[in-house]
Amino acid sequence: MRPDLLSRVLSLLPDGGTRPELRQFSEMLRDYPQRGGKGIRSELLLASAQAHGVAHDTDAWDQAQWLAAGLELFQNWVLIHDDIQDDSEERRGQPALHRLYGVPLAINVGDALHAYMWAAVHRAGVPGAMEEFLTMIHRTAEGQHLDLSWVEHREWKLREADYLEMVQLKTAHYTVIVPLRLGALAAGVQPASAFTNAGLALGSAFQIRDDVLNLLGDPLKYGKEIGGDLLEGKRTLIVLRWLAQAPAEQREVFLDQMRRDRAAKDPAVIAQIHRWLLDSGCVTAAQDYAAARAEEGLSLLSSALSGAPGQAAVQQILGAMRALATRDA
């Protein structure tokens, strides 16, 4: 995230406290934001504001930046809770917050950051922005419920359409649709309805690329453990395609591992499954699917923004969206 936006995020959070426990609380609130997320969503929001005509050093630009701070705070509280829900080991190259401080304190810090997110939204004072954040959280929580309930019930009888519905709820709204819409609202412009279909396509491409990187990525760049999704039993397009065509014997080995809790999974068998997935061609196929969805989304977005006043920012948005679907970290 850009330094001035990070400063704005941190300016909302307590710094220190009257007793050691509250100083620790304040450090925990500041921890994830300071780990240097890429700020993909806040950049998209700011570029959308510029595309819709917001100029630097105006009140509308200041309002857009408070909304961007709100998006970053959203991302951070969700990640804290998500890491607990998945029992992830790492986040942005460091141990997940609950692994440093325990689950109860980490849940509480996520809740407090959630409230600080609303402080940023309120501070922005942009009509309609609160409704956007409400919709974003509701859709994301529904997607998260699908994902987590499949893990909870060891549910693997899923079609690709189930995965795509989950990803559209869980990722597309907060990663693409809502940032685009908030940028328009900061400019006082009614968001284009085409942002929704564009965002569903681009958000799917973005998440599938993330699933691919989890199997293929460079551990130094990626910031999470490679293969972690297999250990956490995550449903991905890759795995669902592979399951539909894998030899019965391999499928049985896979399902046997997935019936186990993370700690009871056998790392050697998980590594074998990882190789089967890579050898099956399903990773490449998912990558191709993501690229096609990205093109579809880019085309919709390009049309929707063709008449926007800030064409330099429009090009920046299209370039960034294209890069996301082909990124390697």
Reading phi first (left if > 0) and then psi (alpha if -120 to 50, else beta), residue 305 is in alpha
Smallest gap from Cβ 250 to its own copies, in A, equals: 27
Determine the interface stretch with its own copies among 61-69, 101-109, 276-284, 307-315 (rule: CB under 8 A). Answer: 101-109
Which H helix or E strand runs over 91? strand 90-91
- Report residue 117 as tokens: 């997110």
Amino acid at 206: F
The CA distance from 39 to 69, in Å, is 10
φ, ψ at 199 (rounded to 5°) = -70, -35
Does position 173 bind its own copies by CB under 8 A? no
Q: Find, among 222, 228, 204, the residue nearest to 87 by Cα.
A: 228
The residue among 163 and 294 lying less far from its own copies, judged by its C-beta, is: 163
**Residue 7 CB neighbours (<10 A):** 11
Shortest Cβ 105–its own copies spacing (Å)? 5
Task: Tell me the CA end-to-end span of the chain in Å, nearest whole number.
Answer: 15
Q: What is the contact mask toward its own copies in residues 49 to 78, using x (rule: CB under 8 A)?
A: -----------------------------x
Site string for its own copies, 80-99 (x = CB under 8 A): -x--xxx-------------
35, 99, 144, 296: residue in contact with its own copies (rule CB under 8 A): 144
- With binding defined as CB under 8 A, does residue 102 bind its own copies? yes
Backbone angles phi, psi at 191, to 5 degrees: -60, 145
Q: For binding to its own copies (CB under 8 A), which residues are involved?
A: 14, 17, 19, 21-22, 24-25, 78, 81, 84-86, 101-105, 107-112, 114-115, 118-119, 122, 130-131, 133-134, 137-138, 141-142, 144-146, 148-152, 165
